[in-house]
Structure 1
Amino acid sequence: MAKSKKLPKATSDGPSSNPITSSSTTAPPWLHDGLPLPRLIVLDLDYTLWPFYSDIHISTPIRLVPSANPPTLSDRNGEYFALYPDAPHILRLISSLPNTRLAVASKSPVGDLCREVLKLLRLPPGEGGSEKGPKKTIDAFDAGLEIYEGTKLRHFEVIAKRTGIPFSEMLFFDDERPNLEVESLGVTMRLIRDGLTWEELERGIMQWRANQGVA
């Protein structure tokens, strides 16, 4: 899937040109409707969790931009990097659910850099400003990170072995159509175009429920 490689340039006023903006929402209906949720939600990284190619766009070293809201990184060339607007709030919500875990499955060849990005970026406070739960983005992924070249089939086989969660209990968000191959394992994959949003999250959950025969 072709992606734009143009990123916002730095200005003397800091990351004001960054199109990434903060986002919040009230509790979505699917959260309290009494119907089942996936036991594991798995996310791709490039153009799913964040709007850039980790191996192309970032020139190390990277640093956290002081006082930037939402949390934003800058690199050696003065480019800015952040998660998609809804993503931090989605991660915060999912990480608070008692029976749903989070994992990453990415074919990025720069796994160490991706981990550094996830360590530096912070999640927003929880409900009522609570600091309970993960603060670093990386800590939200309690089911682990599979970030290396290869097939998504391999990623999911490793995740299933580590967690013991059946493929049928997994929901995967990815922007690359060839990765629909994971559905041959029994995983539900939601193919997205413009990053992880509340709308795509809900559609993915509805898709997963339909695959489970849940009305």
Structure 2
Amino acid sequence: MVNSDESFPKIVVFDLDYTLWQCWCDTHISPPVSRSKSDNAIVDRYGSQMAFYKDVPEILAHLKQNGIKVAAASRTCAPDVAKKMLSLLHVGGTRAIDHFEVLEIYPGSKITHFNFIQKQTGIEYHDMLFFDDETRNKEVEHRLGVKFIFVTEGVTWELYHQAIEEWRDHKKHRKSSK
């Protein structure tokens, strides 16, 4: 099913650390990482486990099923570890990384990340929704027009539904101010 509904964003962008999972992959994870044998988690060299926040796999699956593109925008200093984690974690029966259209995972400004996401997808900034745990990244809303959602304890269904409503209001106000 392809999303042609104007009442949903065309792409949802996620920060990774403390947004999709409860760690900083550049400081809390010690490579190499491998998939846990017992559940949908990864294990690092010291046996520390990490997994998505509880609702994240279902939210990613929901987005894909509804034709909404997904991207990552993370300024981690360990992009290879982040990508490996996305490759090892699963959403349904597929690798989580396969649910992402665009991966902008490297140190730097979120403005740069979003400029590349826009160039790669052709999606206008006002058709984007962004979840992140750092308030400083709200600059993408002020400077580009991307709807920013502050995440305090990982992305949940409740936050996701609230964010969709906020994105709709954001888009409506943009249209009425033109």
Q: TM-score, normalised by structure 1?
A: 0.76
CA distance in 1, matches of 2:165, 2:42: 33
Alignment correspondent of 2:136: 178
Greater radius of gyration (CA): 1
CA distance in 1, matches of 2:50, 2:62: 22
CA distance in 1, matches of 2:86, 2:137: 23
Per-residue deviation at 1:35? Answer: 6.6
User: Which one-letter code corresponds to 2:117 in the other structure?
Assistant: I
The 5-angstrom pairing of residues 150-165 of structure 1 reads 150-165=108-123
Task: State the 4+ residue runs in structure 1 displaced beyond 3 angstroms.
Answer: none
User: Which one-letter code corresponds to 1:118 in the other structure?
Assistant: L
SS at match of 2:160: helix
The 5-angstrom pairing of residues 74-85 of structure 1 reads 74-85=43-54
CA distance in 2, matches of 1:198, 1:166: 25
Q: TM-score, normalised by structure 2?
A: 0.91
Paired residue for 1:147, among 73, 95, 105? 105
CA distance in 2, matches of 1:118, 1:192: 19
The 5-angstrom pairing of residues 125-144 of structure 1 reads 135-142=94-101, 144=102
Identical pairs, percent: 40
1:70-92, CA deviations, whole angstroms, 9 ceiling, x for partnerless residues? x0111111110100000011001
SS at match of 2:62: helix
User: Which one-letter code corresponds to 2:125 in the other structure?
Assistant: F
Alignment correspondent of 1:54: 25
Between Structure 1 and Structure 2, the one with more strand by share is 2
Alignment correspondent of 1:102: 70
Alignment correspondent of 2:154: 195
Alignment correspondent of 2:176: none
Tell me which of the two structures has the higher relative contact order, counting C-alpha pairs closer than 8 angstroms and 6 or more residues apart. 2
User: Which one-letter code corresponds to 2:166 in the other structure?
Assistant: Q
SS at match of 2:131: strand
Per-residue deviation at 1:212? Answer: 1.5
The 5-angstrom pairing of residues 11-50 of structure 1 reads 36-50=7-21
> What count of residue pairs does the alignment treat as equivalent?
168
- Unpaired runs of 5+ residues, structure 2, are 174-178
User: Which one-letter code corresponds to 1:138 in the other structure?
Assistant: I
User: Which one-letter code corresponds to 1:141 in the other structure?
Assistant: F
Between Structure 1 and Structure 2, the one with more helix by share is 2
